[in-house]
Structure 1
Amino acid sequence: MVGGIVSAEKQSGFTHLLDPNKKWFNNRRLLTLNAWIVLLLITSCTNGYDGSMMNSLQSLPQWKDYFNHPTPSQLGLLNAIQNIGSLAGYPFAPYLSDGLGRRRTVIFGASIMCLAAIIQAAAQSVGMFIGARFLIGLGLTFAANAAPMLVSEISYPPYRAPLTATYNSLWNLGAIIAAWTTFGTFRIPSTWAWRTPSAIQGLPSVLQLFLAWNLPESPRWLVSKGREEQALRTLAYYHADGNPQDPLVQYEFNEIKAAIEFDRDVVANIGWKSLFNTPGNRKRMRIIIAIAVFSQWSGNGIASYYLNQILTDIDITDPTVQLLINGILTIWSLLWALIASGLIDKLGRRLLFLTSTIGVLFAWIAQTVSFAVFWEHGIPAAAHSLIAFIFLFSCFYGLALSPLIVVYTVEILPYHLRAKGFTVFNFTISLALIFNQYTNPIALAHLAWKYYIIYCCWIVFEIVFLYLYVVETKNLTLEETAALFDGEAAIEEITGNGFGPAKDKPKEQESSTEKEVAQFIEIEDIRKDSPFLTKDV
C-alpha cells in the first residue's frame, strides 16, 4: 500500500488569507515571535551537545586519565545513562505538557538541566559524572517534549514546518559548540579540559530558565483549557499585529476551536490506549515509531558517539586531528540539515525521506567497502576515502533523518494525542540510542568493518518502509494534516453512516456528539481550497 498523497495542485485553506507583503524580516511582531521560537529551538542544542561532547571527551587524555581509561562496556554506560534518565521522565512529560502548559514544562526541564550541568562540571568520581548525565536526560525529556510542540503551535503558518524542522537540525549546532569547545580546551593541562565543556552544556538551559517566562503559550493549549479569549489575543498579537478580526486569525482560531471541540466530544478516551484505538491512530504510530528507530539505526550512532574509535581503527590516532575532523563534520551536518529545513514545503516530506535514505544506503556501502579494504590490506587511500564517505553520509542523513522526524511526528498527531504521541516518539529514540550505545563499541571492537554490513541490510528495509507508508503533508495546517489519517473512516465510526447521522437513528435521537461532528464537517466543507484526500492513506 503506497502512502496517500495530497493533491499537489491544491493549496491549504489558509494560503489565500496571508498578506504577501508580510515577511518575518519586515514585521516587528513576527520578528519577536521568531525570537521566542529560537529560544525554544535551542533545546535541541543540549541533546546534540551531549553526543558530540562525549565523542570528544573520549579523545582527551585528561578525561581518560581522570576516569581510569573506561572499558568499552563502561563507555556504553557513560553514553547511555543520559537516555536512561530520559526514560525515567517519559511517563510524566506528556501530563506536564498538557496540564501545566508547554511553556512551564520547558522551564521545569531547563531548571533540572541547569542543576545537572553544575554537578557534571564538578564531578569528583565516575558515579557523580554518571548521576549528572542521568539528570541531564531527565530534564531534557520535559523540555524536549514541550518545546517542539510549542514551536509548531505558535508559528506563523507559512513558517511552521521550516521552523519545526529546524528544531532537530539544531542538534548539530549543539554538536558544533561541543566539538569546538573541546578542541579549544584540549591543551589545558588539568581537569578543566573536560570540566569546561561539561559546564557549557547547561548554557541553553540557563537562557531558557531566565527568559522563557515571557514566551507566548500555545493557543491550542489555551483553548483546551477554556481560555479562548487569551488564545485569540495571542494569535492576533503575533499573527495579525493585534487585530483579532483579521481573516487569518479568525480562520486559525475557528479551526482550532472546532478541532478541539471535536476531540473533546468525539474522542472521549484520550489515555495511552487511544494512540492505538483507531485505524488512523495505528497508522500514525506505525510511522512515528519507525522513523524514530530509523533516525538512530541508520549508522549515525557510530559516527555520533564513536567517531574517535573509527578513526583510531584506521590509524588516525592524533587527538588533535580527531577533534578537528569531528568539529568540521558537525558544521557540515548542520549546513545540510538547515538546507533541508528550508526546502521542506517545496520538496515535500516523501521526496526528502526517500532521497535521504537512498543516499545514506549508498554512502554506508561505500564506507563499508573502504573500511574493509583498509582493514584487510592497510591501504592509506582507503582510510582517506572512508573519511570522505562519512561526510557524504552526513550530507544525506541531514536531508531528512535529522530535520524531518520531529516536524513530521508533531504535525501528523492531532492535538489531543500530540503530547503522548510525541512522548512515544522520544521514548523509542531513547531505547534505540541505549541499544546503540551499549552495542556499537562492543560490536566494533569484535567485528570491525563486518559490523557495517548489518546496517547496510537494515537501511534497505528503511527505504521500503518509507516508500510504502509515508504520507505527504506539505502545505497543510496541523488540523488539516490530522484529517489525512482519519478522513471519512473516523466519521463513519462515530455516526454509523459516513457524513451525517446514523442511518437507523431518527433525527430527534441524534446525540450531541453527532451534532458536533456535523458542525465540524460543515466547517471542513467551507474550505474549498483545501486539498482533496485520497482514500489510500
Structure 2
Amino acid sequence: MQLSSRKIPGYALASTFVALGGILNGFDTGSVGAITEMPSYTGTFGHLSPTMRGFTVSLIMLCGAIPATIAGYLADRFGRLRIMIAGAVLCTIGCILECAAFHLWLFLVGRALMGIGQGFALTNIGVYICEIAPSRSRGKFVSLPQFGAAIGVCVGYFSCYGSIHIKGDMSWRLPYILQAALAVLWATGSFFLPESPRWLILHGRRSQAMEELKKLDFGTAEAEKDVLRPVETAAAEDEIGVLAGLRLIFTKDYRSQTWLAVFILSFIQLSGIDGVLYYAPTIFAQAGIPSQTASFLASGVSAILMLAFSIPATLLADKWGRRTSAICGGVILSATMLLIGSLYAADAVHSYGAARWVVIVSVFVFALGYVSTWAIVGKIYASEIQPTKTRATTNSMATGGSFLANWLVAFATPIFLARSAYGAYFLFGGVALLTLLVLAICMRETRGLSLEDIQISFARSSARVSPISLAWTRRRGFEG
C-alpha cells in the first residue's frame, strides 16, 4: 500500500467528493433568503409575512433535526456510506420539488425532504471523513465540508444576483435547478466511494476493510498507526438500539465528550451566523444600502470574502490549536454583535453617516471571523473527541442540536428584525459571549493527537468532567 508521491491519495479524493454535501447546504443557505424576497417568487406564491418567511426558510433545519439524531444509530448499523447516500437521494428529490413547485405547499414539501436528507447525510459526512483521513491531516479534511459550505453560500448569493435580472419565475427557479443538478452529481458519485475501514473492522469485516484501505491509498505504516492497530482487538459489536445508544453516550466514560460536542455544535449556531447568511440582503438593506440589487451584491461580496478566508483556515486547520482558534473566534463574534446592537439601540444608524458603514463592516467581520474559526474548529473538535464506539451516535445528537439551533435562528431572525432593530444583535452577542466563556473553560487541546490519544486524554480526567474541574486541572498544569 505504498503511495506514489505524485498521486492524489484516495482518502483526499473521497473526502473532497463528500464535501459536495457541504456545497449543496451552503448553496441553499446563500440563496433561499434572497429568493423569498424576489418579486417573481412573491408573484408565484404571494407575499410572505415575516413569520411565514421565517418558517419557509427554516423548515429545512426543523425537518433535519430528527433524522440527524437517529442517523448515527443507522450509520453504526448499516454503514456511514449507505446513510449518506440515502440522504443525498432525498436531497435530490427535495431540490427537484422546490424548483418545480407552483404552489407554496409543494415548495414546502421539497424543503422538508431536503431537510430530512441533510439530516441523514450531513451528520455522517464529518464522521466518515474523520475515519478515513490520516491523523496528520485529519483537521484539514474534516473541515472540507465547511469550506464547501462557504463555496455554496458564495454560489448561492451570486446565482440570485444574476437570476434576479431574468424575467418571469425562472429568476427564482434557476438557483434550484442548479442545486438539483449538484444533488444528482453528489448522490450518483457517492455510490462509488469506499466504506469507512474503521466501521468495517468494528463489524468483523477485516478483509473488506483492507480492500478499502487500498482504495483510500493508505501507506502501510499509516494504516497500521491510524486504523489497524487501534482497533485490531475489536470484535464485531452487538447491535444496539437508538435508546441504548443514547444511554451509552451519557454513561460516565463518555458523557463529558457528549455534552461538550452537543454544546459546541448548538451554541456556535445560536451566535447568529445563519441569521446573517440567510437574511444578509435584509440586514444590508436595513443598514442603509439602498436597492435590492445592491444588497444582493453586498451579500455576494461578503460570501466571496468568506470563501477567501475559508481557504487558509482550512489549509491551516492542523497548524492552529483548536482551543486558541475557538477563543479568538468567540472574542470576534461577541464583540461585533454587541457593537451592532449598541449602534441600533442608540438610534445612530441611518441611510447616511458613518454608523451604517460601521454596521456593514461589522457584519463582514462577524461572518469572516466565524468561517475562519468556529465554523472550522467546531465540527472538527466535536467529531474527533468521540470514541469510535460512540462517535456516530454522539455526532448525530450534536448535529440534531445544531439543526434545531439553526432552525430557531432562521425562524426568529426576520421576526426580530421586523420588530426591533437591535434585539437580535444583543441576543446573538450574548450567546456568543457565553459560548466563549464555556469553551475557554472546557476545551482541551487535541491538535496533532491520534483519535485514540484523545480518548486517553479524556479518560485520564474522567473523574473530573465538570467545567470547574477541567479548568482546575488546566491551571495546575495537568497535561492531557
The verdict on a shared fold, with TM-score over 0.5 as the criterion, is yes
1:96-120 per-residue CA deviation (whole Å, 9 max, x = no partner) reads 3112211221211111111111111
Structure 1 equivalent of residue 470 of structure 2: none
Q: Distance in 1 between matches of 2:304 and 2:148?
A: 11
Q: Determine whether 1:130 maps to 2:130.
A: no
Q: 1:368 aligned to 322, 338, 341, which one?
A: 341
Q: Distance in 2 between matches of 1:58 and 1:380?
A: 30
Q: Counterpart amino acid of 2:203?
A: K
Q: Determine whether 1:112 maps to 2:86.
A: no
Structure 1 equivalent of residue 277 of structure 2: 304
Kept in 1: contact 2:333–2:429 (CA 8 A) = no
Output aligned runs, 1:360-509, within 5 Å: 360-372=333-345, 379-487=352-460, 489=462
Q: Determine whether 1:57 maps to 2:35.
A: yes
Instruction: Flag structure 1 segments of 5+ consecutive residues without an equivalent.
Output: 1-17, 491-532
Report the CA distance between 1:301 and its aligned residue. Answer: 2.7
Q: Distance in 1 between matches of 2:318 and 2:380?
A: 11
Report the CA distance between 1:453 and its aligned residue. Answer: 2.1
Structure 2 equivalent of residue 512 of structure 1: none
Structure 2 equivalent of residue 169 of structure 1: 147
1:29-57 per-residue CA deviation (whole Å, 9 max, x = no partner) reads 51x43222211111111221111111221
Kept in 2: contact 1:333–1:394 (CA 8 A) = yes
Q: Distance in 1 between matches of 2:407 and 2:365?
A: 26
DSSP-derived class of the 2:254 partner: helix
Choose 448-457 or 171-180, whichever is displaced more: 448-457
Structure 1 equivalent of residue 7 of structure 2: 28
Q: Counterpart amino acid of 1:152?
A: C
Q: Counterpart amino acid of 2:397?
A: V
Q: Counterpart amino acid of 1:381?
A: A
Structure 1 equivalent of residue 57 of structure 2: 79
Q: Distance in 1 between matches of 2:244 and 2:458?
A: 17
Q: Distance in 2 between matches of 1:143 and 1:356?
A: 27
Q: Counterpart amino acid of 1:190?
A: G
Q: Distance in 2 between matches of 1:40 and 1:149?
A: 11
Once the two structures are aligned, what percentage of the paired residues are identical? 23
Closer, same or farther: CA 228–469 of 1 in aligned 2, 3 Å: same
Report the CA distance between 1:264 and its aligned residue. Answer: 7.5
Report the CA distance between 1:447 and its aligned residue. Answer: 1.5
Structure 2 equivalent of residue 506 of structure 1: none
Kept in 2: contact 1:371–1:383 (CA 8 A) = no
Q: Distance in 2 between matches of 1:322 and 1:404?
A: 30
- The two structures, once aligned, show a CA RMSD in angstroms of 2.6
Kept in 2: contact 1:54–1:79 (CA 8 A) = yes
Q: Distance in 2 between matches of 1:452 and 1:168?
A: 24
Kept in 2: contact 1:263–1:416 (CA 8 A) = no
Q: Counterpart amino acid of 2:245?
A: G
Instruction: Flag structure 2 segments of 5+ consecutive residues without an equivalent.
Output: 464-475
Closer, same or farther: CA 27–380 of 1 in aligned 2, 3 Å: same
Kept in 2: contact 1:219–1:235 (CA 8 A) = yes
Report the CA distance between 1:237 and its aligned residue. Answer: 4.8
Kept in 1: contact 2:265–2:382 (CA 8 A) = no
Report the CA distance between 1:79 and its aligned residue. Answer: 1.3
Structure 2 equivalent of residue 283 of structure 1: 256
Q: Distance in 1 between matches of 2:256 and 2:106?
A: 43
Kept in 1: contact 2:288–2:351 (CA 8 A) = no
Closer, same or farther: CA 29–58 of 1 in aligned 2, 3 Å: closer
Number of residue pairs the alignment of both structures matches: 465
Q: Determine whether 1:66 maps to 2:44.
A: yes
Report the CA distance between 1:418 and its aligned residue. Answer: 1.1
1:443-478 per-residue CA deviation (whole Å, 9 max, x = no partner) reads 221111243223333222122111100111011122
Report the CA distance between 1:236 and its aligned residue. Answer: 4.3
1:232-273 per-residue CA deviation (whole Å, 9 max, x = no partner) reads 2332453446xxxx33322334333247459879xxx96211
